[in-house]
């Protein structure tokens, strides 16, 4: 019934902490609902681990962390039908491990995405500087600063000089180099050389 749900919610309301930002972090990371007992246990453990990190950072007090330990024990006792401190049920460890693995996998994916974005930004900066240098090349023997792709690689067929760009880089070779740098080759060879020198529109 609705009344029972209210009672359960009150009984398993997680402890509060004084620091508003810490409280927000705890609530945003792990809510402990008045749902199935095994769910409450898993989430109370995760919440306690977050509280442990906040204690280590001296954001919450020892007493506030102790409240989270007590709350976890209460949730475990309710799930096992025993008292706080009893051995956790058989389903608990696998459920917790699965939940943590999923969180870790998500964090790793986020970090990989951030690293990829950073590498792309670094490549763009390198190429902007290289293209600015190349735009002042006039003589056929003037060197060209190499461009890099998102992984920091230089096209092995990158023309060393302006003359090489104008004579060697034609047709398929020019198209292949543009493709290497993630550009779609368009127009005549002259148009493609302009693309090569100026970069994406």
Predicted local distance difference test score (pLDDT) of residue 39: 77
Q: Are 162 and 145 in contact (CB under 8 A)?
A: no
Distance CA 28, CA 22 (A): 10
- Rounded to the nearest integer, the mean pLDDT of the chain is 79
Q: Which two tokens stand for residue 33?
A: 């609902």
Q: Are 41 and 29 in contact (CB under 8 A)?
A: no
Section 74-89 average pLDDT = 62
3-class state of residue 173 by DSSP: helix
Predicted local distance difference test score (pLDDT) of residue 10: 39
Section 81-109 average pLDDT = 68
Instruction: Report the alpha-carbon angle 71-77-60, nearest 5.
Output: 15
Identify the band that residue 139 occupies on the pLDDT scale cut at 50, 70 and 90: very high
Q: Which residue has the higher pLDDT, 156 or 4?
A: 156
Residue 91 has pLDDT above 90, yes or no: no
Residue 35 has pLDDT above 70, yes or no: no
Cβ partners under 8 Å of residue 196, min gap 6: 165, 169, 174, 177, 178, 183
Section 184-200 average pLDDT = 85
Q: Are 47 and 14 in contact (CB under 8 A)?
A: yes
Tell me how far the alpha carbon of residue 164 is from its chain's centroid: 42
Which contiguous run of DSSP H or E holds residue 21? helix 20-29
Between 4-13, 57-66, 88-97, 114-123, the lowest mean confidence (pLDDT) is in 4-13
């Amino acid at each position: 019934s609705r009344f029972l749900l209210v009672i359960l919610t009150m009984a398993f309301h997680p402890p509060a902490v004084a620091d508003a930002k810490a409280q927000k972090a705890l609530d945003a990371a792990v809510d402990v609902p008045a749902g199935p007992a095994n769910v409450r246990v898993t989430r109370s453990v995760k919440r306690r681990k977050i509280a442990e990190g906040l204690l280590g950072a001296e954001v919450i007090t020892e007493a506030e962390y102790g409240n989270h330990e007590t709350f976890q024990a209460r949730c475990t006792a309710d799930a096992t039908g025993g008292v706080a401190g009893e051995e956790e049920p058989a389903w608990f460890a696998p459920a917790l491990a699965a939940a943590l693995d999923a969180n870790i996998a998500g964090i790793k994916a986020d970090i990989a995405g951030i690293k990829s974005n950073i590498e792309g930004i670094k490549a763009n900066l390198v190429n902007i500087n290289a293209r600015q240098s190349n735009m002042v090349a006039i003589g056929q023997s003037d060197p060209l600063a190499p461009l890099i792709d998102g992984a920091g690689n230089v096209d092995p067929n990158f023309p060393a000089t302006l003359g090489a760009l104008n004579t060697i880089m034609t047709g398929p070779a020019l198209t292949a180099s543009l493709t290497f740098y993630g550009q779609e080759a368009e127009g005549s060879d002259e148009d493609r050389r302009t693309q090569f020198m100026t970069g994406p529109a």
